[in-house]
Structure 1
Amino acid sequence: MGEEVPASALELQQLQRELVRKLLAAVSEEPGAEWADEDVCARYLVARNNRLDKATTMLKETLRWRHSFGVSKLGERHAVIRTESETGKLRVSDSVDRAGRPVLVMTPRAENTSDHDGQILNLVYHLERATGGRGPVDGAADGKLVTVIDFKGWSLRNAAPMKTSRATLSILQNHYPERLHRFLLLNVPTLFTVLWNAMNPFIDPVTRAKIVFVTGSAEQQQAALRECFDLAQLEEGLGGLAPLHWDPAAYFARDAELASAGAGAAVPASARTAAAS
């Protein structure tokens, strides 16, 4: 005989709270367990269809990864992050989507290093900066973000190695579950489809469903962007109307505050977004 289906939304909420409580207890002895608050546990449960055993395994693996990677000590590697970020190739935009979600922008043409470890460090820093480290971000009740990759000027010369691409996917899927609202790919060159076909088998089906190739005529592309953004507030380089003046010094002006607070703590909106003017 199957399990009884909860009869009301209240019962579902009670069941969810109980699962969160059990997950909190299950990971309480892991390093950095204080990071795993109720919001974190809820996301991991959703990512594993409320299967407590699978959510426990996933969250334990994340806590161990965060500890070994040194996520709470990213400020100690600030110099590497600054070098990687000098060109603005990966940054949290001043733009937000229509629901107030942060926008993480990648511009591969601005690649300035070939250091795999440095690039992954930069990725994790910006994921923490975009998400506030743990709970829902300011202005977005669901705690998710939008990622935009602009392939204008992309070539094999500045393409990420397969090792780095796979590591990026692994981190996003395994350690930042239920964070991605939408993944927009702009100005995609034909050559990229070869790499895409190689990467496709490694992409989780849920993640794949959130990936949008923005193609077609200029009007069609603008229509696709308009679904996500108020174009008056979107960076002009991404198809919007808002000017962008990249200034790495201004962007990192609050890093002392971030370092003292620790990457695992909630990051204020003023520190997450670029101080471009």
Structure 2
Amino acid sequence: MSYLLKAMNRAAQEKADQKLDEQQEKINEVRDLVGGSVAAEMASFLSDGTIRRFLRARNWSTEQATKALRETVKWRRQYRPDTICWEDIAEREDEARRVYIADYCDRDGRIVFVSKPSIKSKTSGKEQMKQLVYNLEILANSSEGEQEESVVWLTDFRGWVLTTTPLSMARESIYIVQNHYPGLMALAILSNPPRIFESFWKIARHFIEARMKEKAKFVYTSSPESHRIVADMFDLDKLESAFGGRNTVAFDMDKYAARMKRGDQARGASNGSK
């Protein structure tokens, strides 16, 4: 019996290793297709982890992943997201309370990205997009070695009204996430959306890829079923009360700013490196 179990484990391991080898072949193929000069120009961006994310989001099609990467390379040359740092974010102390990377993970070890759109922004739409890109750049960098999607996006929709999120901004945000940071989002948890959100969602969902739409989950803190879903996913002692957790600790801006600055330095995006 033990021999049979060992044989089964060995076969499973060999299959997993073969899959990784096949994935690595595709990663190498995409890097070659993108071009040696581009690979040299953006060596840190065109890592195995980045190419894996693009392949994963494009069903492991080397042709589609290469096309998507080329478009993102053009965008990165112009936007330079890798140079954005904490000090570059306008009204950062206020904006970070609207959109931030949590200091805890879900039960599967995935990074938690939190947004609270009902908190009124003090910046322009352009600056809000800049902050989104800043956070996505950090999330991508933190997910470098992951084999699967590794980010859970939590959005608190309590108090949301139609004027909170202009459709144009929603469309641009969706485009950036899907096209320039694909393969990151494992789930998008939409918490307590009001009834009026239904009409907005009917329009916005047309901009969302089918695979991404499947990752959107609506939960309501007043629903026992939703509470079970959330409890299965998160440690409720760490999860914010807005999402049905028991954490009522106020957002510590000093600690968050220090964490962001350390992250900027680690990826070479601090002001001192410019």
The bucket for the TM-score relative to the shorter chain is: 0.7 to 0.9
Q: 1:63 to 1:182 in 2, by over 3 A?
A: same
Q: How does 1:8-87 map to 2 (within 5 A)?
A: 11-27=18-34, 28-30=36-38, 31-75=41-85, 78-80=88-90, 82=92, 85-86=95-96
What corresponds to 1:152 in structure 2? 158
SS class of match (1:35) = coil
Count of residue pairs the alignment pairs up: 254
Residue type of the alignment partner of 1:149: T
In the alignment, the residues of structure 2 paired with residue 241 and residue 76 of structure 1 have an alpha-carbon distance, to the nearest angstrom, of: 29
Q: Do the aligned residues in 1 keep the contact of 2:86 with 2:261 (CA within 8 Å)?
A: no
Residue type of the alignment partner of 2:113: L
What corresponds to 1:187 in structure 2? 192
What corresponds to 1:4 in structure 2? none
Q: How does 1:183-222 map to 2 (within 5 A)?
A: 183-215=188-220, 217-222=222-227
* Per-residue deviation, residues 95-134 of structure 1 (Å, max 9, x unmatched): 3111111111111121223511101001111122334356
CA RMSD of aligned residues (A): 2.6
Deviation, 1:227, is: 2.7
Point out where structure 1 has 5 or more consecutive residues left out of the alignment.
Answer: 1-7, 266-277
Q: Do the aligned residues in 2 keep the contact of 1:97 with 1:228 (CA within 8 Å)?
A: yes
Q: Do the aligned residues in 2 keep the contact of 1:134 with 1:264 (CA within 8 Å)?
A: no
Q: 1:14 to 1:100 in 2, by over 3 A?
A: closer
TM-score (norm 1): 0.82
Q: 1:105 to 1:60 in 2, by over 3 A?
A: same
In the alignment, the residues of structure 2 paired with residue 259 and residue 94 of structure 1 have an alpha-carbon distance, to the nearest angstrom, of: 16
Bigger CA drift: 102-111 or 24-33? 24-33
Give the alignment partner of residue 137 of structure 2, picking from 125, 128, 149: 128
What corresponds to 2:148 in structure 1? 142
Deviation, 1:201, is: 1.1
Structure showing the higher helix proportion among its residues: 2
Give the alignment partner of residue 96 of structure 1, picking from 91, 95, 105: 105
Deviation, 1:37, is: 0.9
Deviation, 1:169, is: 0.3
Residue type of the alignment partner of 2:157: F
In the alignment, the residues of structure 2 paired with residue 263 and residue 209 of structure 1 have an alpha-carbon distance, to the nearest angstrom, of: 35
Q: Do the aligned residues in 2 keep the contact of 1:75 with 1:262 (CA within 8 Å)?
A: no
SS class of match (1:183) = strand
* Per-residue deviation, residues 177-208 of structure 1 (Å, max 9, x unmatched): 11111111111101111111111111100000
In the alignment, the residues of structure 2 paired with residue 91 and residue 168 of structure 1 have an alpha-carbon distance, to the nearest angstrom, of: 15
Deviation, 1:50, is: 2.1
* Per-residue deviation, residues 65-88 of structure 1 (Å, max 9, x unmatched): 1221111110286242616625x0
In the alignment, the residues of structure 1 paired with residue 152 and residue 180 of structure 2 have an alpha-carbon distance, to the nearest angstrom, of: 17
Percent identity between the two aligned chains: 27
Q: Do the aligned residues in 2 keep the contact of 1:44 with 1:178 (CA within 8 Å)?
A: yes
Q: Do the aligned residues in 1 keep the contact of 2:220 with 2:227 (CA within 8 Å)?
A: no
TM-score (norm 2): 0.83
